[in-house]
Amino acid sequence: MRRWIAPLLLACALAPVQAQAPAPEAVLALEPYRKTIALRATVGGRAGLFLFDTAGGLSLISPAFAEKIGRKPWGRLTGHQMMGQRLDTPRCDDLEVKVGRLQLKAPVVGVLDIMTLFPKDAAPVEGSLALDLFDGKAITLDFATGRLIVETPASLEARVGKRSPIPLRLSRELQGRALSAHVGVPTSKGLVWMELDSGNGGTILVSKPYAALFGLDSDKEGPQQASFEVAPGLRATGPAFAPDMILDGNLGMPFLKDKIVTLDLASGRLWIVPSPAPPPH
């Protein structure tokens, strides 16, 4: 018996140890909401359901929710929607935000009743959380499995490995308070910057001056079918419109629904890979 025990112990000692992947800071659950996504969070000490809108720029709470948490909106924030409309909202400052066990802080939020943008039968939400809440962090959005992963430096390195990032621009409107992400999409003329928009549940948008570069008719008002390369191995396919918008373009859930998107909001880097999991129905 001893003749085989000793070699077995030696083999075990020499066997490579399987390294455990570094743990992220937090893994948060995303919920489906009318073809978009939402987060359950405690804002200002009160729990509620909030949209998670990567193109929102600035997190928002409703006037009714501001009243519930004992805040009196003040001042004015002025921005523009992607079709060019000016939008003014009052503000609340320094709100504590808790998502799962993760503690965050929103230096400024806008106060706006976003339910006016939805049909009357839509499930109520208290507002919208945006990328500004994760400013300076790295996050991964796995849309197919419904997870928002807040990375540590080690977990980020393990996730992306040696893969090269794809072109990214971070946009900061509202005098630097807002934060949104735009991917550089190659065309025969150069890069066109398209906003990554988890709040856009149904369409791909390409600004009228760029429509022809993506095989779209700039004069057609109704939906068209789009199919173009966003990056090597990544295609945007689905119904598209070519409106006269102030952005180059906008990639919503038709593109994002089956992707894993990693955003390094500290150093401005982006990785997008297909998810091995099927997208939610």
Q: What is the pLDDT of residues 72-119, one digit of tens each?
A: 999 999 999 999 999 999 999 999 999 999 999 999 999 999 999 888
Write out pLDDT tens, residues 229-242: 999 999 999 999 99
Residue with tokens 């934060």, as numbered in its chain = 179
Contact at 8 Å (CB) between 200 and 55? Answer: yes
Contact at 8 Å (CB) between 204 and 226? Answer: yes
HSE-CB at 260 with a 13 A cutoff on CA atoms is 14
User: Where do you find CATH 2.40.70.10 in the chain?
Assistant: 26-149
Longest dimension (CA), the chain: 84
Tokens, residue 252: 């919503």
Domain 152-274 part of CATH 2.40.70 = yes
Give the amino acid at 46.
R
Topology classification of domain 26-149: Cathepsin D, subunit A; domain 1 (2.40.70)
Sheet containing 234-241, strands listed edge to edge, beginning at the edge strand earlier in sequence: 168-171, 180-186, 191-196, 249-251, 204-206, 234-241, 224-231
Please provide the average confidence, as pLDDT, over all residues in the chain: 93
The pLDDT of residue 9 is above 90: no
pTM score of the predicted model: 0.90
DSSP 35: T
pLDDT computed for residue 108 by the predictor:
98
pLDDT computed for residue 140 by the predictor:
98
Q: How far apart are CA 96 and CA 42, in angstroms?
A: 8
What SS3 state is found at 187? coil
Write out pLDDT tens, residues 158-211: 999 999 999 999 999 999 999 999 999 999 999 999 999 999 998 999 999 999
* Helix or strand holding residue 156 (H, E): helix 153-160
pLDDT computed for residue 203 by the predictor:
92
